[in-house]
């Protein structure tokens, strides 16, 4: 039996319905991204998710994953280059590992943003006031 079809889908069912980013042509689909995912032992690539949900635009998958995450579903992305893809966290440890990864990415992007803003300021002769306690926006 395919492990992907036996994934827990109770929470995924509640994410279905209003608010989905899938256009009308996909609105009759009963599956959500979370409903087809299983644990970290069998991550699915975006292409596999697209095929399973019969969706042709990868941006729709990305938007739907974000919508489902914000609805509280623990959809994680594998950091393993040998087994890339999305999976449902099944333990607090898996979710914690993914959130640590997100924090590292935020920190890296923040550093890049600060460097680009500094370059911009040098080019334009402008200075920025830090009014957010270190979190420039």
Same domain, 46 and 26: yes
pLDDT of residue 84 exceeding 60, the answer is yes
Q: Give the residue numbers spanning the domain of 119.
A: 91-126
Per-residue model confidence (pLDDT) at position 26: 47
Residue 137 lies in a domain: no
In a 10 Å sphere around its CB, with 0-12 CB exposed, 13-18 middle and 19+ buried, how is residue 94 labelled? middle
Residue 133 lies in a domain: no
Per-residue model confidence (pLDDT) at position 128: 76
Please state, in angstroms and as integers, the Cα–Cα distance from residue 9 to each residue in 31, 79, 106, 117, 125, following that order: 9, 23, 30, 44, 55
Please say whether the beta carbons of 90 and 40 come within 8 A: yes
Please give the residue that has the higher pLDDT: either 60 or 14: 60
Per-residue model confidence (pLDDT) at position 7: 39
Residue 6 — very low, low, confident or very high, per pLDDT cuts 50/70/90? Answer: very low
Tokens of 12: 């995924």
Max intra-chain CA distance, the chain: 64
Check which CATH number belongs to the domain holding 40 and give it: 1.10.10.10
Same domain, 34 and 10: yes
Whole-prediction pTM: 0.70
Same domain, 58 and 30: yes
Overall number of domains in the chain: 2
């Amino acid at each position: 039996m395919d492990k992907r079809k036996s994934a827990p889908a109770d929470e995924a069912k509640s994410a279905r319905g209003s608010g989905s980013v899938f256009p009308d042509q996909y609105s009759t689909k009963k599956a959500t991204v979370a409903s087809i995912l299983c644990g970290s032992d069998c991550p699915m690539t975006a292409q596999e998710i697209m095929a399973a949900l019969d969706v042709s635009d990868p941006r729709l998958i990305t938007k739907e994953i974000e919508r489902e995450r914000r609805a509280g579903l623990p959809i994680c992305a594998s950091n393993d280059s040998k087994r890339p893809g999305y999976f449902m966290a099944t333990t607090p440890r898996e979710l914690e590992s993914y959130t640590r990864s997100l924090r590292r990415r935020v920190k890296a992007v923040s550093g890049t943003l600060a460097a680009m803003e500094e370059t911009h300021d040098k080019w334009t002769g402008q200075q920025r006031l830090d009014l957010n306690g270190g979190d420039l926006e």
